[in-house]
Structure 1
Amino acid sequence: MGPANVAWLVLLSAVYVSGLWAAATRCYSTFYQSLMFEFDLKYGDVSWINGLFQGGYGLGNLLFPIIYKYVTFRIGVMTSAIVSSTAIFVSSFAVTIWQIHVCCGLVTGFCIAGSIIGLYGEVTRCFKKNREIVYQVVCTGTSLGGFIFCPLFQLLINVYHWRGALWIISGIYFQLAAGGAILGLTSTSTEKSNPHQSAVTEVIEQELNHDIATKEIKNETQGGKTTLISHLYDKWDLKLFLRADLYLYVLGWFTFSLSFYLALLFMIPYGSKIGLTDIQASSLASAVGFGELGSRVFYSVVMKKCPHTYRYVFLSIIVATTSIPFFSLVALKSYPVLLTIFVVVGVMGGGVDAVYNNLLIDIFGVSMYPSAYGYANVISYPMGMLGTVTLGHVIDLYGSETIAFIIGGCSLLLSSGFVLIMNQRIKKLQLLNTAE
């Protein structure tokens, strides 16, 4: 099998792992009603399954960039797939809700992080051109995941009970091991790629190199060798934590995901509360996924042609506008109208995740992308864990799922503002680089 064919198989595997991530972040809520009934719980209790998934995902993004310094992507992805599948299977025998939270939430989130970093990192190395289109294709898995898995999970629950459904879902996650095995067919998984640095990266790297050189001179004058800390600092790319862009990126992404992933997590329970059937309620998530599919084609074309100067501004406008349908959800109860609104939400926000992904590469470069992606998630996903659980408790206090949509709309406006701040930061750094 030629390298080109292997690269496309890697791309398909990355699409699949994106779908599995969406299956957890968007479709776990199909289990909420069953778990609340069986264990006598409230939203604040069951939302921990998604909260701990976020926390496990954040922990995985902290450790796997370091792990991948010592093991290949193939080993990491295959091991992660096997462990996550086993954990989900074990959770079907749970006698307390916390066993489900740990197995389906914490452990699965940690393992998905390893699979995503490995497969996304390999895609970055295999496809060095047209990344705007490539990452829209990769993130299509997120759209397809919500579109396919939410009704599927609900159907499995209706037919096999939630315990039987977890058996089948365990097998779905196990299939990712095949995607990990594919990585052994290409030599790029162990090759070091040259950095694809932007002007912003070059300016910041010059500043950091100066600081590092100063520290090394200080170490030498003290008659020593470089310390263990400085060695780990370089080897694990810890210098990323000194870059303001990392934190601006995290704030922009978290406030977007708080609405698009955390608030929308409650659209299925909301549909059930207003009298929709289980399948109708789960199809609301499919409506978002359907809208996203068309959105990704649009973003692929527009972002490829959009100059870098205006890319962040365009992103900010789209994110701010997406808040409008969120606010409108408060007063809507008609199934056809809700379907339409959620399709609109998918169309407007569906391609934003891939744009964020590609901008991360533009800022930090190809060689540092796995670490930048991982460390950004290290910060944002624990915040997501707290956000998910907090939303659950707020709904319990407020007495209606619509409060999640109001919070989501406000969060999108904040995200738009953070993107504009990031845009100004990048412009300033580009001007500094030009002046030098």
Structure 2
Amino acid sequence: MSPVVVGPARRTDTRRMPAPSPSLPVPTAAARPSTQHRTLANGLTVLVEPMKRVQSAAFSLMVPAGSSLDPPGKNACAALLCDLLTRGSGDLDNRGFTHALDDLGVNRGESVGASHLSVSAATVAENLPKALRIYRDLFRDPHLPEEEFAPAADGLRQSLRAIEDEPAQRVMLELRRRTYPAPWGLPTDGTLSGLDALTYADVVHLHRTAVRPNHAVLAVAGHVDPEAWFDLAAECFEDWEEKPDPPIEPGPRGPARDHLHHDGAQTHIALALPAAAYGEPGYYEAWAAAAILGGGMSSRLFTEVREKRGLCYSVSASLSGLKAGPGPDAAQEGRLFCYAGTTAERAQQTLDVLLEELTRLRDGVTKDELTRCVARAKSGLVMSQESTTARANGLARDWRHLGRVQPLSETLDAVNALTAENVSEYLATRPPAPPTALTLGPAALDWPD
């Protein structure tokens, strides 16, 4: 799982990206755990981890109002709500909200996932409490100005139309629709047809019924005092009333093998296979296999597809997953995603080699491949300890997926315990299954029986 990307005043949706290089979960505690947590009576969990050697601090606040709660046929409701929430709340109007955070020097982000609407903020530690109070009003006392509905919808519409000009993003979004059941596999930023069907009343209703403290997570990391932040969280959220969890009716997945016509000189190939999800037995073996297959310039796909044969300009594999609900007990589905972008003339051979490498992966990995994989992992784990934003995001993610915070020592132990033999055993014991497959380009490709 990749960490959430946080940028200044910008919503980020990592699902639009072609399969990224696989990464281990960002570690969320030092070797000796220092994270403290409390859960308010309304179900909001507060996690605080001091990092005394830094002067900054960051928080991640996840509220269970994601795109899976979009009304049927109106996939874009959560994305539009996310935009409208930032257009004034409490005593601040649209510009006042932005100026107040800028005055505090806050690097901020607001984003929509399948299960949660998330905000994050990072700044010097002394200013972060003020930022939290501003975001408290965003969720609890938003203006949701009706006159801003049309401009917000127009902005989202342009963003969705831009995907048509980014076929690499489009193919990965469409692959998720065919990999996971609706509404979990639907694009978190919505669709043009869903946006066109949406009304202002739909957005207000989603806020009234879905934005709630139960299953919400506030994670704080940096130069902070835990007791002071527990008191601040109580001040901001203790009297926030619980709401019933809105019902979700699962729908069908898309076809397991499909082609989307797209005029142009390029063909984009996207595959997904079942894999262990974060927190499940075999997760670290699955992560290592994904890294060896397509994680960087020493990976098998880069070597065989691009370097030796020159078949494509981009090829990768990553481990990802879906959690079908906001609580820690919700079902998870892990997936190995593969992506290749090539010319139409070389698309069939690219697909054939991709499938050959997936088959060869089941024969196991070598010690040298695993050694390189583990070295990259350890380097990333250590460097991530210096980022308060990464730590806060990791705390929230761990709590959501595991119902606890996983210390760095546990992550390192799992990485150090990896051997070529147990990764190979994991691969050999996975039930063989044809991949969910999607191509986008001028012509469909031939698939083996």
* TM-score for both structures, normalised by structure 2: 0.30
Structure having the higher strand fraction is 2
Q: Which has the higher helix share?
A: 1
